Structure 1
């Protein structure tokens, strides 16, 4: 849906997977900050980045993520959200540093040494 001045219209969009986007279009192996606001699809994307090994196996490192997570009051959606966040935190790749506002979450990669050195060590010297 595309919303223009209060009216909505259907719009076709092209979509690609995160690996293709980062590897072939961004063409960087280290992503310092990834900002995610994809209107509900973060429930599919966040586990791919923070739990799965797809990016790791492709040599792509994401150091920080700022994610807008769209949680509704529907019980099944809340349960899915809790399960997803549990998986993300149990993977021990990213730590949730801050949660505020409209379900905005800030994660930092605590598994990759380069990310830890670049973004965390300075606070513990």
Structure 2
């Protein structure tokens, strides 16, 4: 009886112990320290985010001051001079009007116009 139990335990250990041991990996990916890479330092990132916010505000102000343009459902995103307009406007003419107004803002390098005609939620 003891031999049977010992055999079962050995087989169980061999079956599950080896599988569990095989599942343990010695692989560990290299951890990169982003703080040491160029462009990842905190003051630089803060300055870039502040510049992006400032440009978004300039574009938003230009859109708001454009006569005949309803920007209540328009979102402005800016990143390194590239501006994205997203959301809805009441008609097709306002899509082109919004794009022209955004391109006229100083600091805007390009405009990606993702505006669609219609009303929000429809």
Greater strand content: 1
TM range (shorter): under 0.3
Larger Rg: 2
TM-score by length of 2: 0.26
TM-score by length of 1: 0.26
